[in-house]
Chain A
Amino acid sequence: MASKVLDKHHREIVFSVPDIKCGGCINRIEKRIGALDNVTKVRVNLTSKQVTVKWNSQQDPPAVSHCLRSLGYISQISVDPLDTDRDQVIPYLIRALAVAAFASGNIMLLSVSVWSGAEQQTKHLFHVLSALIALPAVAYSGQVFFHSAWRSLRHRSTNMDVPISIGILLTLGLSCYDTFVRQSTDAVYFEAPVMLVFFLLIGRTLDHLMRKKASTAVSGLAKLQPSGAWISRVGNGVEYRTLSEIVPGDKLKIAAGEYVAVDCLVDSGSSDVDCSLVTGESVPRNVHVGDKLLAGSRNLTAGLYAIATADVKDSYLSQMMSIIQNIENTRSKGRRLADKVSVWYAPVVHLAAVLSFIAWYYLTDDLHHSVTIAIAVLIITCPCALGLAVPMVQVVIARRLFEAGILVKDGAALERLVQIDTVVFDKTGTLTTGKPQLVNAEAIEPVAFEMAVAMARVSQHPYSQAILTAFQDRAGTVFPEEPETAIELAGYGLQLMVAGCRYRLGRPVWAVEPFSESLQQNESSNHANISSTVEAQTALSESVLTCNGEVIAEFLFEDSLRDEAVSTINSLRAQGLHIHCLSGDSASAVKSCATELAIDQFNAELLPDEKVAYVDTLARSGHKTMMIGDGLNDAPALAAAHVSMAPGSASEVGRNSADLVFTRNNLQAVLQAITLAHIANRSIKQNLCIALAYNALALPLAIGGWVTPLVAALAMSASSIVVMANALRLNAWGCLTSHSKLSGLNNSVVTPKVGQYA
């Protein structure tokens, strides 16, 4: 099992339990699991929705998953190897921030007494003390910037951290030289570099916390995917293994309703499989012995045994992952705004410093004074406010989006979102609900409808579910009793014997077979002869209800559009954006959907790399593309697009490769995200202007030699505070507009389709 060895006697395992909501859940879970044998410690984390269980490893592991299920919680073992890296960055940043806060606070106090006119001796003492605090603090907390600057320089490029690091190091160097070597007190700026580190770390930490929060929320949605599978053992019985422990040749037991964990071949049984998240096909596929199952598809009607053909690393899912990796390695999505600014900002500042050094040295012939002036130029232009300008705004906007159910995984995505001119939609599960709906409910006779409902209740097939949903929508209807004899024949439909009559609900070809008692014996061999490709080439799929082979009702299904799809597409078009539709589904289904939405540019039956190629073609012709899709087959295109968005119901890979994820089941989120990105962009530009204007004002002061340590400290804090205040202004002002905008939206949260694992 995927447990961690703590010491000789204890092991620890973490379960992800997405349904933990309140103190009651914590109480209930901790008490019940704590009462299990061998459990030494159990701790519920409400923030990450995880349960950590420690047990005595010399005895059998406790049945935690079973216990959680009996309490009504779906759980899965949490295996998240990617998370460990990121988890270490944030604690480091917080520690660095704490050290910088301590150091800057104390140095500031010492500096205030220096500025208010202490005696020469006291000044010197205070400077020595400041140096003793500042040097270790900067050495510890400043590493973030030094590392990043060094990396950037080694790749012969430059980013914002280069001028920051140069400024910090030169200022500290000069201050130490003046304090310890020259024993002078005129050009000592210990508070400036420490404060700079402190302010910049605030921005850096907020940025990371925002991403962490979004990725935690995204991984919280991962409950849709299996973290392992039931393997049937050589002898007898089954055991649960996590994904990484499954090897080719293992025999997987896949119950109806479960997701397929790795690519495999059906060994026994036949069933219907929902591939909508994997390939984008809206109609379930019928599988028999020998058919291939792709990881991520969902088994619908009957239990299957299948032989794994690949381990996790080689399955379809991982092929998609490697395409995505390749895309991410080979292309850049444009530089971040702040880095773009720094490309010309750093040379200008450094040139100014060098020029003022030369000018002062030429005029005064005083080497030390000239160096002091040059460093004052660097301090005063150190892009403290620039470093805060972008992350502050993005954090505020990301929070606003979070409240609207939109997760932003990277602040840079907001910058790219404002540049788009083309929106590419996937069809199944994005423009449509991904679930078929009964379209001719009105035309069906009530008696026949009730019969169909009675039969459909035993089935998980999407068509059965659609019949039930349609029936519920009829006002004042009472559910008929669930018949005991209805049986489901995978790939064909449902059959019910009532008083010698054979009712069948399912594929037309099968349902109209003539009825005779003798035929029932070799039913299954007959079915194999029926072609499974009867599905008409129209967008509508059909099931019929027959009595002894005679049709009594027809049911037409369609993967219907989301309610808000038309209005969303129209609003996007009104903003001047081009709309395209790409789908892996059949041409006819895509065409009818595109016609309804008046989308001219659509392509059907596309493979994942063809979607990428399409997005690339758009990019080459100068378009900035936003891709919106949910399937595994969309994931590479999501990664390739300039910016991408996925619904919370998307496949795990889809969610991970998208820049934004919307958790409320509403396409309007696309509009909201674009609107808020524009607000963020405006605010970022304002902030950059403020920061640059401040630098432009301060530069002449520095070159003129009027910058004392007091002036430098005041100017730096003032500009940072103005920039922060401008970003926070979005909070207060934004609340009003967001309420009026959001009130019209349907706030329903995606209800997860949960398979029965464990």
Chain B
Amino acid sequence: MREFIFLIPVSLCLGLIGLAAFMWALRKEQYNDLDGAAHRILDDDDDRPISTVIDDSGSGNGG
């Protein structure tokens, strides 16, 4: 019986933390663009080979 006094609040708190984390993610619009995130992960920013900088817009400022 004594263990419950620790264990139940601990487990409930863990659950509540998970719930709060989910709510936070929801409020911070983490789920608004699931498709975009899948593509963004592939983007290496400016990590391109120096010799073959591909200018993707046709103007001088490629990056």
Contact = CB atoms under 8 A, between A and B. Distances in A.
Interface of A: 22-24, 26-28, 31-32, 35, 44-48, 70-71, 91, 94-95, 98-99, 102, 105-106, 109, 121-122, 125, 129, 133
Interface string B20-55: 001100100001111110011011000000000000
Given A22-B39, A23-B43, A95-B23, A46 B57 contact: no
Q: Is the interface of B mostly helix, strand, loop or mixed?
A: helix
A102 B39 CA distance: 31
A354 B15 CA distance: 39
A478 B35 CA distance: 43
Contacts of A133: 12
Contact of B16 (A22, A70, A102): A102
A38 to B, nearest CB: 17
B36 A28 contact: no
Contact of A26 (B1, B12, B32, B43): B43
B19 interface: yes
Given A70-B57, A71-B57, A102-B18, A47 B34 contact: yes
A102 B20 CA distance: 11
A133 B1 CA distance: 20
Contacts of B26: 91, 94-95, 98
Contact of B40 (A26, A102, A105, A125): A26
A98 B33 contact: no
B36 A26 contact: yes
5 contacts: A23-B43, A26-B40, A47-B36, A48-B32, A71-B57
A576 B42 CA distance: 53
Interface residues of B, number: 26
B34 A102 contact: no
A147 to B, nearest CB: 21
Contacts of A129: 8, 12
B4 interface: yes
A102 B19 contact: yes
Contacts of B8: 129
A189 B35 CA distance: 42
B22 A98 contact: yes
A387 B35 CA distance: 30
Contacts of A32: 57
B23 A125 contact: no
A98 B43 contact: no
Contact of A46 (B11, B22, B23, B33): B33
A47 B32 CA distance: 8
A27 B41 CA distance: 11
A740 to B, nearest CB: 29
A129 B13 CA distance: 13
- Enumerate the 3 nearest inter-chain pairs by beta-carbon distance, A residue then B residue, closest first: A23-B39, A46-B36, A46-B35
B33 A47 contact: yes
Contacts of A28: 56-57
Given A102-B15, A106-B12, A44 B36 contact: yes
A125 B36 contact: no
A99 B12 CA distance: 13
A451 B1 CA distance: 98
A133 to B, nearest CB: 8
A156 B61 CA distance: 67
Contacts of A26: 36, 39-40, 43
Contacts of A98: 19, 22-23, 26
A133 B8 CA distance: 12
Contacts of B61: 35
Nearest to A35: B61
Contacts of A48: 32-33
A22 B42 CA distance: 11
B33 A45 contact: yes
B19 A45 contact: no
